[in-house]
Amino acid sequence: MARARNSRRLAVTAVVLTAALLGTSCLEPDATAGQPDASLGGCPLFPKDNYWHANVRAMPLHPKSKQWVTALGRSNPVHPDFGSGTWQGRPIGFPYVVVDGSQPKVPVNFWYAAESDPGPYPLPFDAPIEGGQDADGDRHTIVVDSSTCTAYELYAARRGATPASAWSAGSGAKWDLRSNAMRPEGWTSADAAGLPMLPGLVRYDEVERGDIDHAIRFTVGVHARTHIWPARHLDDAGTNPDHPPMGAWFRLKAGYDISWLPPQAKVVAQAMKDHGIIVADAGASWFLSGAPDPRWNNSDLLQLRRITGDAFEAIDARGLMKDPNSGATNYVPAKR
């Protein structure tokens, strides 16, 4: 079942987005920030041989690499869709929260119940929603239960009237963070591509550590009406078969010089070389997803906008795939 996406990023101009990243109001610190490794609440973000962690530096080019890059815009800039502070009172990025086993679970009523994992979900009443409680757009919500190492992700989430009330959402997915299990073929998730969101987010703690050990989720302004592994679902708004499908995988070219980038931006760029970026949803092209954090240096991150689509190439990820219904890969650690 396909669904229409109401991405707020489609309606925002580059000028406004740049202003957003230059906002100065601070958020409360992320409860998960400052962790010494890539885990959250002691939980891995999927096994080490999962596709999110794969090294794609040596993967062959996809036969449609040139067409896909051209479709997304060779002169269009990369845009970090995350940062510190707020713009018009709204946090910049995709927030998440970690809870433990004491968090009460609440029912969730889904628009797309047939492709959603049923509730209840451990949703705090004040669980952060993308853009804030009164936001328009995709309104993603991400919660990690550290007692079971399960991530709960919602699209178009709206909380109930009281802490015990049912929430409503467009769709929802539960992810065992210790497993390579995928969505059933053809199922959506909180993303149009049927992928988990959390492992593809750029987080401050990993940038501070100096290494992002995973691919980065990103959005595209045009796409085909199909999907390829590791995606499980398509967005039916696509029209041109020469546009990239959901699940298309790109990398920053190995020869692209990133030495000029400031520290935070350089870590992100290195990850785009080592692990690449995966098409996860419709929105605006070359928009990288990350979590808000008051410690981001927005001026630093904005230097990523000097990288344009022409610096990327699409890879053929079929050589990584062990089984079309598994997230496990023929994993090779990154070498620089």
Predicted confidence band of residue 291 (pLDDT cuts 50, 70, 90): very high
Two structure tokens written together for 118: 């049923």
Task: Give the pLDDT score at 333.
Answer: 55
Mean pLDDT of 312-331: 93
The Cα–Cα gap between 289 and 202 comes to 6
Indicate the burial class of 131 (C-beta count within 10 angstroms; 0-12, 13-18, 19 or more). buried
Percentage of the chain beyond pLDDT 90 is 77
| Strand pairing category for 249-252 and 277-282 | antiparallel
223 phi and psi angles, rounded to 5 deg: -160, 160
Task: Give the pLDDT score at 38.
Answer: 56
Query: Is the CB of residue 188 less than 8 Å from the CB of residue 194?
Result: yes
Query: Is the CB of residue 273 less than 8 Å from the CB of residue 57?
Result: yes
Tokens 């009172």, located at residue:
89
CA torsion 236-239-242-248 (nearest 10°) is -20
Two structure tokens written together for 278: 């995966």
pLDDT tens readout for residues 18-52? 333 333 222 323 333 333 345 788 999 999 999 99
pLDDT tens readout for residues 241-290? 899 999 999 999 999 999 999 999 999 999 999 999 999 999 899 999 99
Q: Which amino acid does the sequence have at 276?
A: G
pLDDT tens readout for residues 219-239? 999 999 999 999 999 877 777
End-to-end CA gap in the chain: 41
CA torsion 202-206-207-213 (nearest 10°) is -70
Query: Is the CB of residue 68 less than 8 Å from the CB of residue 314?
Result: yes
Mean pLDDT of 62-85: 96
Higher pLDDT, 10 or 119: 119
Percentage of the chain beyond pLDDT 70 is 87
Q: Which long-range contacts (CB under 8 A, 24 or more apart) does 114-119 make?
A: 114/1, 115/1, 115/171, 115/186, 115/187, 115/188, 115/233, 116/169, 116/171, 116/172, 116/173, 116/188, 117/172, 117/173, 117/174, 119/166, 119/167, 119/172
pLDDT beyond 60 at 334: no
Choice among 93-97, 119-123, 329-333 with the minimum mean pLDDT: 329-333
pLDDT beyond 80 at 6: no
